[in-house]
Amino acid sequence: MYMSDRPQGDDWWLASDGKWYPPQSRSMAPPPPQEPAPVPAAPYGAPMPAQQYGQPVPPSGGRRFVSGGLTGTLFGFQLATGVLAVIAGTLYFATYGLWLDFREGGDTRLVDVVDLANVSDGAAGIALISGLVVFILLVIWLNHAYKAAASRGAESQAWSSGWAVGGWFIPLANFVIPKLVINEVDRMSRPELVEPIGTTWRSQRRTTVSDLWWVFYIAGIIVSQVGTAIDDVEALWIEALGYMIIGTGFILGAVTIRTIGQRLRPPRPYCQESSQLARTSAKL
């Protein structure tokens, strides 16, 4: 059929394909292009097929997850910080014991007290540095965890992912707001809830370990600050007690982070062939 990029006469007509056709070809005009049919959206929470064996399933319907690597790193640093703080507290208690023996005329020399005090300060310093790393990771983790928990279709939240970050930087309020945000994440992430969870999460109870974490953490800070403010070797046992309490709080916090993180981690389904291959390899 003859066509042209330009009209060859007044009676030539322009088709939908951008070409000009003679008048006798109007009955043979090409059909207009059809738009592709819209793809129906997957239902909320519908599983998505894995792209490769062992690869995380891509989230559907806006569902978010928390990286297992982030949770694991935070858990490790928090646990290590707790152990270091407990060790520092134990060393401070030992230093105080040596001081009492020296003061009462025992066999302990002053240089022994000073040496152990320096070791105690070193352990406390390492715990402090590790604690700063925990703080940075915890702010990042809590922001991701809140988004992941809320993406389960939660409604009527009192806080947001923004408060998961900003709440840490408000003086005095940072003793309360982060814990309230953690409470919502804890309750929204309950595995027994059916998605979309709506407002059903509000009837869920908090994890007891989470509450103990915060109680020990706040109490330890207060006690250690009191011991440091006195600035007297006679009050060294107070500072030691504070480190022991803080260390316990960090360990409880590590347990809490791991518990919630496991609920919000990406699913890792495997194809049937992959499972069969794994079983075959195990037999070999």
Q: Is residue 269 part of a domain?
A: no
Q: Which residues contact 141 (CB under 8 A, 6 or more apart)?
A: 66, 70, 71, 74, 257, 261
d(CA 184, CA 160): 9
3-class DSSP state of 203: helix
Q: Is residue 175 part of a domain?
A: yes
238 touches 259 (CB < 8 A): no
Which of these, 189, 99, 199, lies nearest to 144 by C-alpha position?
189
pLDDT of residue 102: 94
Q: Is residue 248 part of a domain?
A: yes
**pLDDT in tens for each of the 284 residues of the chain?**
566 777 777 777 777 777 777 777 766 555 555 665 565 554 544 444 433 333 333 444 589 999 999 999 999 999 999 999 999 999 999 999 999 999 999 999 999 999 999 999 999 999 999 999 999 999 999 999 999 999 999 999 999 999 999 999 999 999 999 999 999 999 999 999 999 999 999 999 999 999 999 999 999 999 988 988 887 888 899 999 999 999 999 999 999 999 999 999 998 763 344 444 445 555 55
d(CA 128, CA 125): 5
pLDDT of residue 14: 75
Q: How many CA atoms lie within 13 A of 136 on its CB side?
A: 7
Q: Is residue 132 part of a domain?
A: yes
pLDDT of residue 23: 74
pLDDT of residue 183: 97
- Tally of structural domains, the chain: 1
pLDDT of residue 39: 53
Q: Is residue 256 part of a domain?
A: yes
Secondary structure E strands in the chain: 13-14, 20-21
Q: Is residue 201 part of a domain?
A: yes
Which range of residues forms the domain containing residue 213? 68-264
Q: Is residue 219 part of a domain?
A: yes
d(CA 110, CA 254): 38
Helix 177-188 vs helix 236-264: crossing angle, to nearest 10: 30
pLDDT of residue 277: 45
Q: Is residue 240 part of a domain?
A: yes
pLDDT of residue 123: 96
